[in-house]
Every structure is written in structure tokens, then in C-alpha cells.
């Protein structure tokens, strides 16, 4: 590469960096705006949403305490945490085992099963939500525990797809060596296969945690209002005739976002690695 090509490459890299930085700031701006307004009086949120809090507009943590009192956020937090953790756990466990079975057992049935899971990824939720809601009520799945099973069904397609790609990259000889040493199929999965699936498992956990934690539509169709998740109780801040306590809502949105952001930042290094590994074709 000569000097001119190096200069062109450097210029292109600089322009790309500037564009991506501007795009990142554009994505972060709404989050920063919510954080700023969570410390302002609700009157000034509507009249001056872009103004920083000052002596006249700053209300401290009053919006947070009022929002927690009105919504019962602590109870909703416990319900959301249970649903998210339980759903992600069963998704990872059952889909990783399914993917291992599909990949290692070559038959018409497993091939058909794989394409069924892939097809499930492209079916819009709105197409099945009414029949799903009716079926869930008939089967007494309208509870937190039933919601975990529903999330397993809706999250299985993507998870199986990612796990299948990663399992194809695992040398079969490793599993054969374990079985020669006396491991049963279950022991081989637990002690050999699953530890090697860690990057993809973390990726599946992050993607599904963000989806389940922030999901409003499915819980609102299944759970009673008094046993709602965080998105449901935040929606309760919207009163009659379109009145909204904007200060409390902004504060509750910050508290709702915070746990999943911390979880994402602590695990983000696994995302690209897991997605790239899961995209391997056999």
C-alpha cells in the first residue's frame, strides 16, 4: 500500500469514526433525556424538556419516591426478576439440549425439527397472540409460571438456531472420547458440551433478558393487572383523559432500564463472539 492509499484509508476511517460516533450519540440522547427529566418537576418536563435541572426545576428524588409509591415498583421488580431469570434459564437449558440432539442425530425428523424452529423465528407475535391468550387461559397458564413456559416457546427458535451453529463447530472426537471414558449422553452434555457452549449461552441470555425484561405485550395479555411486571405498572401512571405523571414515569423508566443496562455491560464481550460462533454453518 503506497502513501496515497494509506492517506485515503486513514481519511475513510476518520469519517467512519465520526459518523458512528454521531450515530451512537443519537441513540444515547433519549436515554440521557429521560435521566435528566427524572429529576425535574412534571410541569417543567412538558414546558422545557431539554433544559437541565436548576434551582426552580430540580426536585431531587421526589419523582422516584412518588413513582415507587404509586406503582408498587418493588413488588413488580420481584415479579419481573423471577420471570426473566426463570425464562432465560429454561430457554438456555432446553434449547441447548435440543440443538445438541438436532446436530448430532442426523435424520429426517431432526432436519424437519430444525426448520420448524427456524420458521418460528419469522412468525410475527401479533399473528398468534389472540389464540395464544385463549389457549393460555384454557390451560391455566395465566400466571408467572405459565408465562415462563410461553417465553420458552417464543424464544426457542432463535436460541436453537444459535446453539446449532455453535455445536457444529465442536469436534465430535471430544464427545466420543468422553463416551469411551464411560460418560452417558447426559454426562457428556453436562460436563463436556455445555461448558463449551458458554459464549453462545451468554449471548442467548443477554438477548432474551433484554426482550423479556422490557416486554409489555405478552405479560399484559396473560397476567392480571395487580400482578403485573415493571412495564405494566409503569403504564398505570397514565391516568384518565390522557393525564400522565411525567416526573414519576421518567424516574420509573430510569429504574427499569438500569438493571438490564448493568447486565448488558457486564456481559457484552460475549455477544459478538457468541453470535459469530452461532452463525457457523456445518
φ, ψ dihedrals at 40, nearest 5°? -115, 155
In this predicted structure, the answer to whether residue 243 has a pLDDT above a threshold of 80 is no
What are the beta bridge partners of residue 238? 244
In this predicted structure, the answer to whether residue 179 has a pLDDT above a threshold of 50 is yes
φ, ψ dihedrals at 142, nearest 5°? -85, 60
- CA-based nearest residue to 252, from 37, 29, 46: 37
Give me 281's grid cell.
Answer: 454453518
Query: For position 235, what pLDDT does the model report?
Result: 85
DSSP 8-state assignment for residue 124? -
Which residues fall within 8 angstroms of residue 189, CB to CB, at 6 or more apart?
97, 100
Helix H or strand E encompassing 187: helix 185-188
Give me 121's grid cell.
Answer: 423465528
**Residue 123 — left, alpha, or beta (φ > 0 → left; ψ -120 to 50 → alpha)?**
beta
C-alpha to C-alpha distance for 194 and 209, rounded to whole angstroms: 20
Tally Cβ neighbours within 10 Å of residue 253: 20
The separation between CA 133 and the C-alpha centre of its own chain, rounded to angstroms, equals 22
Query: For position 282, what pLDDT does the model report?
Result: 44
Tell me if 204 sits within 8 A of 95, measured CB to CB. yes
The 3-state DSSP class for residue 58 equals: strand
C-alpha to C-alpha distance for 77 and 57, rounded to whole angstroms: 29
In this predicted structure, the answer to whether residue 169 has a pLDDT above a threshold of 70 is yes
C-alpha to C-alpha distance for 183 and 214, rounded to whole angstroms: 41
Give per-residue pLDDT as tens, 42-88.
778 878 788 888 878 888 888 899 888 888 888 999 999 999 999 99
C-alpha to C-alpha distance for 278 and 264, rounded to whole angstroms: 19
In this predicted structure, the answer to whether residue 208 has a pLDDT above a threshold of 90 is yes
Tell me if 170 sits within 8 A of 200, measured CB to CB. no
**Exposed (0-12), middle (13-18) or buried (19+): which is 34, by Cβ within 10 Å?**
middle
- CA-based nearest residue to 250, from 260, 259, 237, 240: 237
Work out the pLDDT band at 113, boundaries 50, 70, 90.
very high
Give me 282's grid cell.
Answer: 456445518
Helix H or strand E encompassing 127: helix 125-138
Work out the pLDDT band at 241, boundaries 50, 70, 90.
low
Dihedral in degrees, nearest 10, Cα atoms 161, 163, 165, 169: -170
Handedness of CA 243, 258, 93, 198 (dihedral sign): positive
Amino acid at each position: 500500500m503506497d502513501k496515497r492509499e494509506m492517506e485515503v484509508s486513514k481519511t475513510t476511517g476518520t469519517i467512519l469514526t465520526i459518523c458512528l460516533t454521531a450515530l451512537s450519540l443519537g441513540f444515547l440522547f433519549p436515554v440521557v433525556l429521560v435521566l435528566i427529566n427524572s429529576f425535574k418537576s412534571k410541569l417543567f418536563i412538558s414546558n422545557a424538556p431539554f433544559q437541565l435541572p436548576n434551582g426552580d426545576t430540580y426536585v431531587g428524588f421526589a419523582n422516584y419516591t412518588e413513582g415507587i409509591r404509586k406503582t408498587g415498583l418493588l413488588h413488580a421488580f420481584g415479579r419481573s426478576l423471577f420471570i426473566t431469570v426463570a425464562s432465560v434459564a429454561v430457554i438456555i437449558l432446553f434449547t441447548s439440549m435440543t440443538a445438541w440432539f438436532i446436530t448430532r442425530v442426523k435424520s429426517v425428523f431432526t432436519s424437519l425439527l430444525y426448520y420448524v424452529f427456524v420458521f418460528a423465528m419469522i412468525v410475527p407475535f401479533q399473528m398468534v397472540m389472540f389464540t395464544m391468550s385463549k389457549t393460555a387461559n384454557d390451560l391455566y397458564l395465566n400466571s408467572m409460571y405459565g408465562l415462563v413456559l410461553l417465553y420458552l416457546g417464543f424464544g426457542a427458535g432463535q436460541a436453537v438456531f444459535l446453539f446449532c451453529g455453535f455445536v457444529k463447530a465442536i469436534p465430535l472426537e471430544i464427545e466420543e472420547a468422553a463416551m469411551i471414558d464411560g460418560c452417558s449422553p447426559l454426562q457428556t452434555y453436562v460436563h463436556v458440551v455445555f461448558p463449551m457452549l458458554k459464549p453462545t449461552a451468554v449471548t442467548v441470555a443477554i438477548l432474551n433478558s433484554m426482550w423479556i425484561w422490557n416486554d409489555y405485550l405478552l405479560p399484559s395479555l396473560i397476567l392480571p393487572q395487580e400482578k403485573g411486571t415493571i412495564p405494566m405498572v409503569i403504564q398505570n401512571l397514565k391516568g384518565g383523559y390522557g393525564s400522565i405523571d411525567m416526573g414519576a414515569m421518567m424516574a420509573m423508566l430510569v429504574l427499569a432500564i438500569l438493571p438490564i443496562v448493568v447486565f448488558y455491560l457486564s456481559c457484552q464481550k460475549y455477544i459478538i463472539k457468541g453470535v459469530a460462533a452461532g452463525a457457523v454453518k456445518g
